[in-house]
């Protein structure tokens, strides 16, 4: 190996970084004591930024592109080193690649319930969870505030702190929103935007941004949800007494064959209670009705249906006529004792005088006319 080959091996002339880990936020280019050759090529791909740190001081930041590392491309580093325009020597500097793409599908959730005051239910405890995405918005600030001298920084190292900020901001927004619990599902988008705005104010100091924030679910404690389900069931059932009867019937039907005897006994008791409520004669178990259990009057029988008759005269059938109409016809002579009549349920045609309801029409005589 010649001396020129040895010297060329001590200098770095190509600088780039490719990543396939999907969770690396910062990666430091390894020099291993080698100096960077003046005029070396620096490649910064889309979704990356390159930050130069010289002797512990933040220097130049490079956005996506291909650069020749010369004094005109490194103004801050040139100022720090007091380089003149004739500078051609290799130099030492740390180079950090920052991943500026979005880190998506990150989870967040409340470890403990959040106390809120609901206008309908009063004090309630809420839990929530969802997803968010984060990206580096200011590479130099992120390197200074979060990364420090870490040679390889991953999303897991900062996600815990971001989740704490999210939960704190969510608790403050949800407690002050004034949105009823039953309406929160319809306002998750608005709540998410409000929470994302609060979070962005805080994490901007870390050089980070939250481009997406989603609330997937807001839930009540199981006991409260169960009580709410019962309340909904009562609303669907309407009448409370009918709801209790329906609940008892459901319990009997779910008992199965193993509890047939017990179900029969309960059914008899329920039948007695229902009979007592309907008849107003006794209480639930045969006792006298109490003041709260007022007797219910039996409904009146249906009104009797009025009979009508048909008349057979000169080979033709006329009618039907009511009894009042038949009386008028008897008075005018249109219907006589021998006139054949028929009504529903009667066995064939009969003379009018043989029908009990019409016979009286021919026996009642009008009173004498008044004196003139």
Alpha-carbon distance of 75 to 81, in angstroms, equals 10
**What percent of the chain has pLDDT above 70?**
77
- The verdict on residue 45 lying in a domain is yes
Residue with the larger pLDDT of the pair 286 and 125: 125
Residues 112 and 28 in one domain: no
Per-residue model confidence (pLDDT) at position 67: 92
Name the least confident of 277-286, 290-299, 339-348.
Answer: 277-286
Helix (H, G, I), strand (E, B) or coil at 268: helix
The pLDDT confidence band at residue 369, using thresholds 50, 70 and 90, is low
- The verdict on residue 156 lying in a domain is yes
CATH no. for residue 133? 3.30.479.30
Q: Mean per-residue pLDDT for 106-114?
A: 90
What DSSP line would sit under 99-122, residue for residue? E-S-EEEEEEE-SSPEEEEETTTE
Residues 124 and 202 in one domain: yes
Alpha-carbon distance of 217 to 170, in angstroms, equals 13
Residue with the larger pLDDT of the pair 145 and 252: 145
Name the least confident of 34-38, 161-165, 202-206, 261-265.
Answer: 261-265
Domain end among 99, 118, 151 = 99
Per-residue model confidence (pLDDT) at position 240: 63
Residue with the larger pLDDT of the pair 362 and 240: 362
Residues 130 and 206 in one domain: yes
What DSSP line would sit under 13-46, residue for residue? EEE-----SS-EEEEEE--TTPEEEEEEEEEE-T
**Tell me: the pLDDT tens digits for 78-108?**
787 777 655 677 788 889 999 999 999 999 9
Q: Is the distance from CB of 37 to CB of 57 less than 8 angstroms?
A: no
Q: How many domains does the chain have?
A: 3
Average pLDDT, the chain: 79
Per-residue model confidence (pLDDT) at position 256: 53
Residues 76 and 178 in one domain: no
The pLDDT confidence band at residue 8, using thresholds 50, 70 and 90, is very low
Q: With 70 as the cut, is the pLDDT of residue 151 above it?
A: yes
CA 109 to the chain's CA centroid: 17
Per-residue model confidence (pLDDT) at position 272: 52
Per-residue model confidence (pLDDT) at position 307: 81
Residues 78 and 107 in one domain: no
What DSSP line would sit under 188-210, residue for residue? HHHHHHHHHHHHHHHHGGGTEEE
Q: Mean per-residue pLDDT for 117-143?
A: 90
Alpha-carbon distance of 345 to 348, in angstroms, equals 9
CA-wise closest residue to 309 among 273, 270, 361: 361
pTM of the model: 0.56
DSSP class of 7:
H
CA-wise closest residue to 74 among 119, 48, 103, 40: 40
Q: With 70 as the cut, is the pLDDT of residue 159 above it?
A: yes
Per-residue model confidence (pLDDT) at position 1: 41
- The verdict on residue 278 lying in a domain is no
Per-residue model confidence (pLDDT) at position 223: 78
Residue 193: which domain range? 103-223
**Tell me: the pLDDT tens digits for 16-55?**
999 888 899 999 988 766 788 888 899 999 999 999 988 8
The pLDDT confidence band at residue 3, using thresholds 50, 70 and 90, is very low
């Amino acid at each position: 190996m010649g001396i020129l080959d040895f010297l060329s091996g001590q200098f770095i002339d190509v600088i780039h970084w490719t990543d396939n880990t999907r969770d690396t936020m910062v990666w430091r280019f390894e020099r291993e004591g080698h100096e960077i050759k003046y005029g070396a090529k620096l490649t910064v791909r889309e979704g990356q930024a390159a930050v130069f740190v010289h002797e512990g001081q933040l220097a130049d930041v490079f956005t996506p592109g291909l650069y020749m590392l010369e004094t005109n491309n490194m103004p801050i580093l040139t100022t720090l080193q007091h380089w003149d325009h004739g500078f051609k020597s290799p130099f030492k500097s740390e180079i950090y690649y920052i991943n500026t793409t979005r880190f998506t599908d990150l989870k967040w959730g409340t470890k403990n319930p959040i106390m809120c005051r609901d206008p309908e239910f009063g004090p309630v405890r809420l839990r929530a969870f969802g997803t968010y995405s984060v990206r580096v918005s200011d590479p130099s600030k992120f390197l200074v505030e979060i990364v420090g001298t870490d040679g390889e920084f991953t999303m897991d190292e900062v996600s815990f702190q971001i989740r704490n900020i999210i939960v704190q901001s969510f608790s403050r927004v949800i407690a002050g929103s004034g949105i009823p619990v039953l309406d929160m599902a319809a306002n998750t988008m608005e709540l998410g935007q409000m929470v994302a705005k609060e979070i962005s104010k805080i994490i901007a100091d870390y050089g980070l941004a939250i481009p997406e924030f989603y609330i997937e679910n807001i839930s009540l404690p199981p006991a409260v949800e169960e009580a709410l389900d019962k309340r909904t069931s009562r609303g669907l059932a309407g009448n409370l007494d009918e709801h209790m009867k329906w609940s008892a019937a459901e319990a009997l039907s779910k008992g199965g064959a193993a509890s047939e005897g017990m179900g029969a006994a309960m059914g008899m008791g329920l039948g007695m209670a229902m009979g007592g409520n309907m008849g107003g004669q006794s209480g639930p178990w045969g006792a006298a009705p109490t003041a709260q259990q007022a007797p219910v009057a039996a409904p009146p029988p249906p009104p009797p249906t009025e009979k009508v008759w048909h008349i057979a005269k000169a080979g033709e059938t006329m009618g039907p006529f009511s009894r009042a109409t038949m009386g008028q016809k008897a008075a005018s002579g249109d219907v006589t004792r021998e006139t054949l009549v028929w009504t529903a349920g009667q066995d064939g045609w009969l003379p009018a005088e043989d029908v009990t309801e019409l016979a009286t029409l021919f026996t009642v005589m009008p009173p004498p006319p008044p004196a003139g």
